[in-house]
Each structure stands twice: as structure tokens, then as C-alpha cells.
Amino acid sequence: MIGPAVLGWWFVQADRWQMSWRLGFFAGAGVMGVLLVWALFMRSESMGGEGSQSGVGTAAASVMKDVLGSPVIYVASLLGFFHGLAQAGMLSFVGQLYQTKHYIDPARAALFLSVNAGGVLGGRLLFSALTSRWKIPELVVITLCAAGETAAFLATIGSPSYLLGILMFTLSGVLVSTIGPSLSSYLGGRFVGRTATAFALFAGLSNVGAAGGVLFCGGYRQSSRGG
């Protein structure tokens, strides 16, 4: 969240101070270098063990077959797909909806993104505190929060005022924030010893959902205008 802002600030300052914009990229590479040195000093066993994902004599292909043979990966991916579709779709177009519906300026439209990010951050800190004390089944969290998120999105879309829309979109951020970590936790618990394969497949399918969400909303908006 801070990265692009810092980079944008640097591009402006680099021109002003007659320095190279490339230094921003060198700093990014430096961050990776620091993490690399850090990783060098970590013990393999503390990270789940070297080669633990492949199991004892288990070929990678059979691990993938095993993961793909489980309905859990499809349930999680489907949930991730719709999670990405709804979130990315709303984030991309809620500002434009309010610009058309309530005639707000771009700065006030951009506030939707900021309050949602704030809601996500607050929601995750709160959720982390709750789950550090109590174990709440992941699918219960996903069901309740997805239902709440949907209601908050609908309230945002149908809100008669800008202020109520902002409040509802903040609430949607709080609720949506629990779904990603719960999905990861669910997968981690169901694919013990095969987590790398499961997370890799899950990430790919979820990304398709996020990309599809923007495409779907954009295409629907385009066809609505045309009609």
C-alpha cells in the first residue's frame, strides 16, 4: 500500500533533485537483499523443513494429483474466485458509480479506496486478536463474513447518500479482511505436508477470479451504456 506512494514520491523528487529515477528500483532490490541475508540465518527446520513438501519418496506429480483429487482445493478456489471477483469488481468501480450517481469529484471517489483499505487493516488486526484467543472454524468465519460483506456491498451500491456509502464500504473492508486469511488457514489445515502445491494452485485460481471480476464489471458497465 505504501510502496507505490513512496515510489511516486521518489519519481517527483528525483526530477527536482536531479537524481536518477532508477534509484527507486535499486532500493527495492536492496529490500530483497536484506530479506535474503535474513533468510540465510534462519534454520531450515523452523520453516517446516527442507523438502518437507515432497514427503518421503513422493513424486511431485503424485502430490499435485493428490491435491487436485481433493474437493477441498476446488471449494477453496471457488470461494477465492468469488471473493476476488466481488472485491476487485467493487474496488474498481464503486468510485465511478458514485461519480455518476452522486456527482462527486475524483478525490472524494478515491476516498472509497482509502476507507476500504483502512477497514481491511482494522479488520485483520481485530480478527487476529480474536483468533489468537479462540479457535473459530474457518468455514464459519468465511460464511458469516461473506454474507455480511455481500450485504455491505449491496448497501453501498444502494445507499441514498455519499456518507452512508462510505460507512458501508468501510464495513465491507472489515468483513472482507477475514476471508483471505481464513481461506489460507483452511487450506493449510487440510493439506498438511502438501501446502506448497495447494497454495500455488489456489493462488493461480484466485488470481483468475480477481482479474475476471474487473473484466466482468467493466464488460457489464460497457454493455449497460451501450444498451
Partner 1 sequence: MVKTDTPEVDSKTRPVWTDPVFWFLIALGLGYGSIFNILPASFPIFRREFGATLEQMGRSQFLYFGSSLAFSIVGGAVIGRIGLRRSAMVALIIAGTAVLLIGTAAKFNVVLAGAVFFGFSIAALVVIGSSIISGHFVENRQSVFSLQASATPGGP
List the interface residues with partner 1, window 172-201 (CB under 8 A): 177-178, 180-182, 184-185, 187-189, 191-192, 194-201
Output the nine-digit C-alpha cell for 187.
487450506
Contact between 19 and partner 1 per CB under 8 A: no
185 φ/ψ angles, rounded to the nearest 5 degrees: -65, -40
Contact between 214 and partner 1 per CB under 8 A: no
Contact between 136 and partner 1 per CB under 8 A: yes
Please name which of 82, 35, 46, 55 lies closest in space to residue 197, comparing C-alpha atoms.
55
Q: For partner 1, which residue of 18, 71, 132, 225 counts as binding (CB under 8 A)?
A: 132
Site for partner 1 in 78-117 (CB under 8 A): 117
Separation between Cα atoms, residue 201 and residue 75, nearest integer Å: 12
Q: Which lies closer to partner 1 via its Cβ, residue 54 or residue 99?
A: 54
Instruction: Tell me how far CA of residue 20 lies from CA of 5, 8, 15, 29, 31, in angstroms.
Output: 17, 13, 8, 15, 18
CB 113 → partner 1: shortest distance, Å? 9
Q: Which lies closer to partner 1 via its Cβ, residue 8 or residue 158?
A: 8
Classify 181 in phi/psi space as left (phi over 0), alpha (psi -120 to 50) or beta.
alpha
CB 161 → partner 1: shortest distance, Å? 26
Measured N-to-C along each axis, helices 138-158 and 179-190 cross at an angle, to the nearest 10 degrees, of 160
Q: How many residues bind partner 1 (CB under 8 A)?
A: 84
Q: Which lies closer to partner 1 via its Cβ, residue 156 or residue 177?
A: 177
Measured N-to-C along each axis, helices 138-158 and 71-102 cross at an angle, to the nearest 10 degrees, of 20
Site for partner 1 in 49-78 (CB under 8 A): 49-55, 60-61, 63-64, 67
Q: Which lies closer to partner 1 via its Cβ, residue 102 or residue 139?
A: 139
